[in-house]
Amino acid sequence: MSLLRRVLQKHQSIPSLLGLQLRMMASDAEKGSSSYAYSTLKVSQASDKVLHVELNRPEKLNAMNLALWREMVECFNEIAGDSECNAVVLSGAGKAFTAGIDLMELGGALLQPPGDDVARRAWNLRKNIVGAQESFTVIEKCSKPVIAAIHGPCIGAGVDMISACDIRYCTQDAWFQVKEVDMGLAADVGTLQRLPKIIGNQSLVNELCFTSRKMMSDEAKNCGLVGRVFPDKESMLQGAFDLASDIASKSPVAVQSTKINLVYSRNHSVSESLQYVATWNMSMLQTDDILKSVQAAMEKKKTKDVTFSKL
């Protein structure tokens, strides 16, 4: 009698346990299906494989409260695992993209952390800061390209947020302000780290961060903070959706691999980045998406006419 047969006879419960495990996995998958139900964010299907995430506190000019910080992490982690989504547009509902931090709600949480002494209060305050950082880093870590569509004011933490996005569009009436020094603190959730690499002009970044002056849309376009400026919110959103649809029509292996390698390359040397992409592509180059894309190009078809497997 084979060893496998003896093991199966000795542990006759294995098949039933396997069936139970499969049923549990199916149940977990059903529970994990994308619902996107949040109190501060509105998520909708903009088009095939494109999601629209709106900051949804228009009565507060989309000021960021504790729930929004938490739900940003939940939302973009969910998007990262959603095989039906290949690109995202992030915008703000109402008259503004965001007025930044909701000082009325977050003031106490930020300035009065719990703890019996300085060390413990500092420890808890650092936990709060790191948690807030993740609210925007999660956008960067999400392998799906995220397009920020900005109208009206984008203040304080709003600049932190859009600096974590992959592409930025704005309206003519949009303006940007690194507000933190006027509040008596240094920005600590992404602006000081990402903005210099986006703009590429350290003098200008220093000026914006030291003075809290407003940067209007034309200057934002000229310095490279945004890629395009539109006359109004409607045309901007349409432009963002069109761009997202174009991105979403391409091989998800190619697009998501490209984002991951772009983010890696920003923080590493050319030599390290070349090593990384070589290791990455030793598996990704074996995708069927290459054959499908090449065939479509030879037949003069567009990528939107190609059916790629979900990722």
Mind listing the pLDDT tens digit for each residue in 289-306? 999 999 988 988 888 888
Q: Which of 57, 56, 71, 75 is nearest to 132 (CA)?
A: 71
d(CA 277, CA 265): 9
Question: Are the CB atoms for 180 and 150 separated by under 8 Å?
Answer: no
Rg (CA), the chain: 23
Q: What CATH architecture does domain 36-248 belong to?
A: Alpha-Beta Complex (3.90)
Residues in contact with 257: Cβ distance below 8 Å, sequence separation at least 6, in sequence order? 280, 281, 284
d(CA 273, CA 259): 13
d(CA 33, CA 111): 38
Q: Which of 182, 278, 176 is nearest to 225 (CA)?
A: 176
Q: Which CATH class is domain 252-305?
A: mainly alpha
The mean pLDDT of 236-246, rounded to a whole number, is 98
Q: Classify burial at 188, counting beta carbons within 10 Å of its beta carbon; exposed 0-12, middle 13-18, buried 19 or more.
A: middle
E strand or H helix at 281: helix 270-284
Question: Are the CB atoms for 171 and 151 separated by under 8 Å?
Answer: yes
pLDDT at 32 over 70: no
Residues in contact with 171: Cβ distance below 8 Å, sequence separation at least 6, in sequence order? 150, 151, 152, 217, 229, 230, 231, 232, 233, 236
Give me the sheet containing 153-155, strands edge to edge: 153-155, 175-177, 215-216
pLDDT at 59 over 90: yes
Q: What is the pLDDT of residue 78?
A: 97
d(CA 231, CA 239): 11
129-161 pLDDT, tens digit per residue, is 999 999 999 999 999 999 999 999 999 999 999
Percent of the chain exceeding pLDDT 90 equals: 77
Q: Which pTM value belongs to this model? A: 0.86
75-125 pLDDT, tens digit per residue, is 999 999 999 999 999 999 999 999 999 988 776 666 778 888 999 989 998
Residue with tokens 């931090």: 101
**175-177 and 228-230: which strand pairing?**
unpaired
Indicate the SS3 state at residue 254.
helix
d(CA 268, CA 215): 29
**Over the chain, what is the mean pLDDT?**
89
Two tokens at 165?
Answer: 């996005």
